[in-house]
């Protein structure tokens, strides 16, 4: 009965490859997010979708492309991976308004 689940948990790949991370939430929330956490544990917003509509798009390289097929799913596709993309990527969801975020357990991406 995991609330926010993301796969895979670990992703090791080489520079130049393309990879995807999937996220699903069963909380009935209407807003989903992708956050990037660097080695210093700083969480930075990348994207947010509300009811499948992109509402937040931070200054992220356009190699990163989110897709939300429905309000319970948000995927992240990354093209031409670079060393600097290595980080932990978290999916989160919330109800519209000022309600708290609920996070998945992260995907640790390592680019070699």
Stretch that binds other proteins, among 18-26, 37-45, 62-70, 73-81 (CB under 8 A): 37-45
Whether the CA torsion 70, 93, 24, 84 is positive or negative: it is positive
The CB-of-55 to other proteins minimum distance in angstroms stands at 8
Q: Are 90 and 37 in contact (CB under 8 A)?
A: yes
Q: Which is nearer to other proteins, 58 or 82 (CB)?
A: 58
The C-alpha atoms of residue 79 and residue 63 are separated, in whole angstroms, by 5
The C-alpha atoms of residue 78 and residue 85 are separated, in whole angstroms, by 9
Question: Is 18 a residue that touches other proteins (CB under 8 A)?
Answer: no
The C-alpha atoms of residue 44 and residue 38 are separated, in whole angstroms, by 8
> Between residue 38 and residue 97, which ones bind other proteins under the rule CB under 8 A?
40-45, 48, 55-56, 90, 92
The C-alpha atoms of residue 103 and residue 61 are separated, in whole angstroms, by 23
Q: Which is nearer to other proteins, 2 or 20 (CB)?
A: 2
Question: Is 98 a residue that touches other proteins (CB under 8 A)?
Answer: yes
Q: Footprint of other proteins on this chain (CB under 8 A)?
A: 4, 33, 40-45, 48, 55-56, 90, 92, 98-106
């Amino acid at each position: 009965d995991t609330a926010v689940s993301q796969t895979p948990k670990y992703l090791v790949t080489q520079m130049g490859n393309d990879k995807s991370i999937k996220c699903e939430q069963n909380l009935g929330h209407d807003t989903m997010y992708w956050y990037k956490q660097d080695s210093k544990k700083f969480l930075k917003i990348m994207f947010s979708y509300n009811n499948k509509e992109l509402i937040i798009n931070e200054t992220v390289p356009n190699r990163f492309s989110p897709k939300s097929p429905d309000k319970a799913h948000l995927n992240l596709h990354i093209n031409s991976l670079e060393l600097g993309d290595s980080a932990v990527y978290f999916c989160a969801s919330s109800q519209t308004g000022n309600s708290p975020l609920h996070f998945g357990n992260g995907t640790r991406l390592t680019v070699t």
